Chain A
Amino acid sequence: QKEVEQNSGPLSVPEGAIASLNCTYSDRGSQSFFWYRQYSGKSPELIMFIYSNGDKEDGRFTAQLNKASQYVSLLIRDSQPSDSATYLCAVKSGEANQAGTALIFGKGTTLSVSS
């Protein structure tokens, strides 16, 4: 059973701080990694994706991937109250067949940014 693990939180940070969200995955053949943000009562929206080891930056967001450790993280710099949401880590397997395009999601980490 392929799994994606996240600390459910809540993770509480003050406004302006760096929030660090972590995710581990069990399928060593996984190829692509995604971070979705989900506000309460809303559907998930894609905020970052990463394929290669290292860091990928987009505005205040940085995704970090370490395939050897099967670990992916999301850093949010200058956290704002509007960043308060649940952050879902999702992984696409390395299977070459059609089933490999389906994403496997973690339970999500709830982030609370206080002003």
Chain B
Amino acid sequence: EADIYQTPRYLVIGTGKKITLECSQTMGHDKMYWYQQDPGMELHLIHYSYGVNSTEKGDLSSESTVSRIRTEHFPLTLESARPSHTSQYLCASSENRGQGEDNYFGYTFGSGTRLTVV
């Protein structure tokens, strides 16, 4: 079954550690996104990619980086984790199946990674 996978599901890590959150999708979608969501708050776009070797920063200032070496894989890395990075991180993918708005179907989300930095 086509899907989008995030690991780990939960992560508790100490300040200053380097961490990578994994995201993989089996749907062949070109477009992938990382969002950050705090409780009761909206999702904030932190990174997105429109294909291999294409990455852009989103609206939310972030100290993370991403890479897109393969279509199916879009990992997010924090070089030095801080307590302010504590949040839920959601990965999503999307596709256009043809021309026009009727062929855009929104996102499929992964299960998310809940990160706690202590």
**Residues of A with C-beta under 8 A to B45:** 102-104
- On whether the beta carbons of B101 and A32 are closer than 8 Å, the reply is yes
Q: Which listed residue (B41, B105, B109) contacts A107, Cβ 8 A?
A: B41
Are A108 and B42 in touch, CB under 8 angstroms?
A: yes
- Docked-complex contact B42 and A49, CB < 8 angstroms: no
Q: Is the CB of B42 within 8 A of A101?
A: no
**How many Å lie between the Cα of A98 and that of B68 in the bound state?**
16
Is the pair B111, A49 in contact by a Cβ cutoff of 8 Å? Answer: no
Closest A residue, CB atoms, query B114? A41
Q: Taking the complex as formed, is A68 at the interface, i.e. its CB lies under 8 A from any CB of chain B?
A: no
Residue in B33, B40, B96, B105 whose CB lies within 8 Å of A102:
B33
B30-76 residues at the A interface, CB under 8 angstroms: 31, 33, 35, 40-43, 45, 48, 50, 54, 56, 58
Contact B50 A32 (CB under 8 A): no
Interface centre among B58, B107, B109, B112 (most CB of A within 10 A): B107
Count class of interface residues, chain A: 20 to 34
B40 touches A101 (CB 8 A): no
Q: Say how far B12's CB is from chain A's closest CB, in angstroms.
A: 16
Tell me if A22 is interfacial: C-beta within 8 Å of chain B: no
- Taking the closest CB of chain B, its distance from the CB of A65, in whole angstroms, is 12
> Are B58 and A102 in contact, with the CB atoms below 8 A?
yes
Bound Cα distance from A26 to B54, whole angstroms: 28
Q: List residues of chain A with CB under 8 Å of any chain B CB.
A: 4, 8, 31-32, 34, 42-46, 49, 51, 88, 90, 92, 98-99, 101-108
B42 interface neighbour in A4, A32, A92, A98, Cβ under 8 Å: A4
Contact between A49 and B109, CB atoms less than 8 A apart = no
**Shortest distance between the CB of B75 and any CB in chain A (Å):** 18
The list of the 8 closest CB pairs from A to B, nearest first, reads A43-B109, A105-B43, A107-B42, A51-B101, A98-B50, A34-B106, A105-B42, A43-B112
Q: Would you mind naming 21 contact pairs between A and B with Cβ atoms under 8 Å apart? A: A8-B40, A31-B101, A32-B104, A42-B111, A44-B43, A44-B90, A44-B107, A46-B108, A49-B105, A88-B42, A90-B107, A92-B104, A92-B106, A98-B50, A101-B104, A102-B45, A103-B107, A105-B42, A105-B43, A107-B41, A107-B42
Contacts A43-B110, A51-B101 supplied; 20 other A-B pairs, CB < 8 Å: A32-B101, A32-B104, A34-B107, A43-B109, A43-B111, A44-B43, A44-B109, A46-B106, A49-B106, A51-B102, A90-B106, A90-B107, A98-B50, A99-B56, A101-B94, A101-B96, A102-B33, A102-B48, A105-B42, A107-B42
